Chain A
Amino acid sequence: MAALIDDTGRPRLEAWLAEATGATRVSVADEGRLGGGAISLNLAVTLDVDGGPRAGRHACVLRAQSAAGIQASISKGQEFAVLRAAFDAGVAAPEPIAACADPDVLGVEFYVMRRADGVGAGHKVVKSGQPQRDLARELGRQLGRLHRAGPDTPGLGDLPVPNPCPALDAVHAYKAWMGAAATCDPVLAWGLRWLEVNAPPPGELVLCHRDFRTGNYLVKDGQLTAILDWEFAGFSDPMEDLAWFCARSWRFGRNDREAGGIADRADFYAGYEETSGRQVDAQAVAYWETSAYVRWAAVAILQARRHTSGEEPSLELALTGRMLPEIELDLLRHLKAIGTMTTEAGVG
């Protein structure tokens, strides 16, 4: 990919940033691409701001739409609004600084946010002799705070509201993303059917992160420093985020620690209940965990298609397509586990 900030783009970016931050002058140092952005492009930048309320030096991230993008993600403008709402709700989201929808500046939509320190890679975060109970509890608290925002929160008017209900809306979206795979892969077909038959009726709608999981937050010295990757955010059933966090896919080999590979669900749930003002509904979480596997499978198909279509040749995207059977095995294991649970409950 060509450099996003080249010699012609830089003065335009600096002029735009000066205006957006009320500064007299801003200079931008490009420190290169940050990892972890399979869908978005993340550049480490340092801003030197003269004048205005943000005068000083700031380590930031410039986050731009990638060439192809995928259907599942929202626009960078919407993502900025979500980040703002989350930050204002007291969530440890990186502080949003300014968003730019004008394609004349860098050729793509982008925004700038403050850069946070810490380790993000899932396999490193889960590496710990003892369960990280405080971290799990804190992540629960953070999610509870986020879920206090909803369709009435100022600034979120651009985000679509699910209709008729989040569970079925999600199934329709997964089918659309899968395309032909939904009619030639019986595991996916069964997952989709199960979700349709067992869909809970519409309930409370809250602002969900929709990719809230180990690998998408930063930790420094055991403490949470930031929650990242807000591009899938949207209104949904609050239990969707809890289920996604606990899904087997994001435990990075620590299957004994069901909350993101870091601790037990109990710690995570307790933190959530502390700040959200609602109880965790285990049965709804189990439904949304099925939904999580089907969603991840659909996203993996979309990712692989970015490669196979020739739009964005990438080994990482190609290999994501080959993860499908593993995601499906997790789906089947989950369905088996909750099936047993239902039988036991019925007998009792």
Chain B
Amino acid sequence: MRTSPDARELLAISLKTFREELLPHIPPAQRYTALMIANALGIVEREMAGLDEAGHTMLGALALLYGEDADNSLSGEDLRERVHGLQHRLCIEIAAGDFDHESQDTLMECLEEIVEARLSIDNPKALKP
């Protein structure tokens, strides 16, 4: 249906061209803005390619916390709704004090995995120790 190249391919070549051909010639006063644009487009690129993968990582981490099997068949909106539902449930349990005295290590591991999955899209560089 779509005309080739598709959106991802167009974005990738736009970003490459912007970084290699425009960015070096941007005057200092506008450089910060230009870098912000490159940063934002980089996030878009990673989100288009990896949102489901990040969702599955998050789902896996949450499922482990609840001793359940993650549903690997989910994708797109269904996956995001499932992650959102489990995260909301976890928030309620945390706020009610369910982790005040026990399972803190397991909770911390789950939270780290969730954050790392989100960082793989928003800022993979921050994952380096």
Chain A residues packing against B (C-beta within 8 Å): 182-187, 189-190, 192-193, 197, 315-316, 318-319, 322-326, 328-329, 332, 335-336, 339
Q: Determine the residue in chain B with the shortest Cβ distance to A318.
A: B40
**Of B39, B40, B84, B90, the contact of A189 (CB 8 Å cutoff):** B90
In the bound complex, how far is the Cα of B38 from the Cα of A40, in angstroms?
A: 25
In the bound complex, how far is the Cα of B90 from the Cα of A182, in angstroms?
A: 11
Given A190-B107, A332-B115, A336-B108, verify A315-B88 contact (CB < 8 Å): no
21 of the cross-chain contacts (CB-CB < 8 Å) are: A183-B88, A184-B84, A184-B87, A185-B87, A185-B91, A187-B114, A189-B91, A193-B99, A315-B33, A315-B36, A318-B40, A319-B36, A322-B40, A322-B123, A325-B122, A325-B123, A328-B111, A328-B115, A329-B116, A332-B111, A336-B108
Structural contact, B122 and A186, CB atoms closer than 8 A: no
Structural contact, B95 and A189, CB atoms closer than 8 A: yes
Structural contact, B40 and A184, CB atoms closer than 8 A: no
Residues from chain B with a CB closer than 8 A to the CB of A339 are: 104
In the bound complex, how far is the Cα of B108 from the Cα of A193, in angstroms?
A: 13
Per-residue contact bits, chain B 102-116, to A (CB 8 Å; 1 contact, 0 not): 001001101110111
**B contact face: mostly helix, strand, loop, or mixed:** helix
B1 at the interface (CB under 8 A from A): no
In the bound complex, how far is the Cα of B37 from the Cα of A182, in angstroms?
A: 29
In the bound complex, how far is the Cα of B110 from the Cα of A215, in angstroms?
A: 33
Residues from chain A with a CB closer than 8 A to the CB of B63 are: none
Residues from chain B with a CB closer than 8 A to the CB of A197 are: 97, 100
**Of B43, B94, B112, B119, the contact of A193 (CB 8 Å cutoff):** B94
Structural contact, B100 and A193, CB atoms closer than 8 A: yes
Residues from chain B with a CB closer than 8 A to the CB of A316 are: 36
Residues from chain B with a CB closer than 8 A to the CB of A184 are: 84, 87-88, 91
Residues from chain B with a CB closer than 8 A to the CB of A332 are: 108, 111-112, 115
In the bound complex, how far is the Cα of B127 from the Cα of A329, in angstroms?
A: 9
Residues from chain A with a CB closer than 8 A to the CB of B111 are: 186-187, 190, 328, 332
**Of A182, A190, A319, A336, the contact of B99 (CB 8 Å cutoff):** A190
Residues from chain B with a CB closer than 8 A to the CB of A186 are: 87, 90-91, 94, 110-111, 114
In the bound complex, how far is the Cα of B79 from the Cα of A26, in angstroms?
A: 64
In the bound complex, how far is the Cα of B100 from the Cα of A186, in angstroms?
A: 14
Residues from chain A with a CB closer than 8 A to the CB of B118 are: 324-325, 328
Instruction: A186-B87, A325-B126, A332-B115 given; name 6 further pairs at CB < 8 Å.
Output: A183-B88, A183-B92, A184-B91, A189-B95, A325-B122, A329-B127
Residues from chain B with a CB closer than 8 A to the CB of A335 are: 108
Structural contact, A325 and B99, CB atoms closer than 8 A: no
Most buried by B among A183, A187, A316, A326: A187
Q: Determine the residue in chain A with the shortest Cβ distance to B92.
A: A183
In the bound complex, how far is the Cα of B100 from the Cα of A130, in angstroms?
A: 43
Q: Nearest chain B CB to A141's CB is how many angstroms away?
A: 32
Q: Determine the residue in chain B with the shortest Cβ distance to A325.
A: B118
Structural contact, B94 and A329, CB atoms closer than 8 A: no
Residues from chain B with a CB closer than 8 A to the CB of A315 are: 33, 36-37, 40
Structural contact, A322 and B126, CB atoms closer than 8 A: no
**Of A183, A324, A329, the contact of B91 (CB 8 Å cutoff):** A183
Residues from chain A with a CB closer than 8 A to the CB of B91 are: 182-186, 189
**Of A190, A192, A326, A336, the contact of B122 (CB 8 Å cutoff):** A326
Residues from chain A with a CB closer than 8 A to the CB of B114 are: 186-187
Residues from chain B with a CB closer than 8 A to the CB of A318 are: 40
Q: Nearest chain A CB to B30's CB is how many angstroms away?
A: 12
In the bound complex, how far is the Cα of B111 from the Cα of A325, in angstroms?
A: 11
In the bound complex, how far is the Cα of B33 from the Cα of A193, in angstroms?
A: 37
Q: Nearest chain B CB to A143's CB is how many angstroms away?
A: 28
In the bound complex, how far is the Cα of B90 from the Cα of A192, in angstroms?
A: 13
In the bound complex, how far is the Cα of B89 from the Cα of A118, in angstroms?
A: 49
Q: Nearest chain B CB to A96's CB is how many angstroms away?
A: 29
Q: Determine the residue in chain B with the shortest Cβ distance to A314.
A: B36
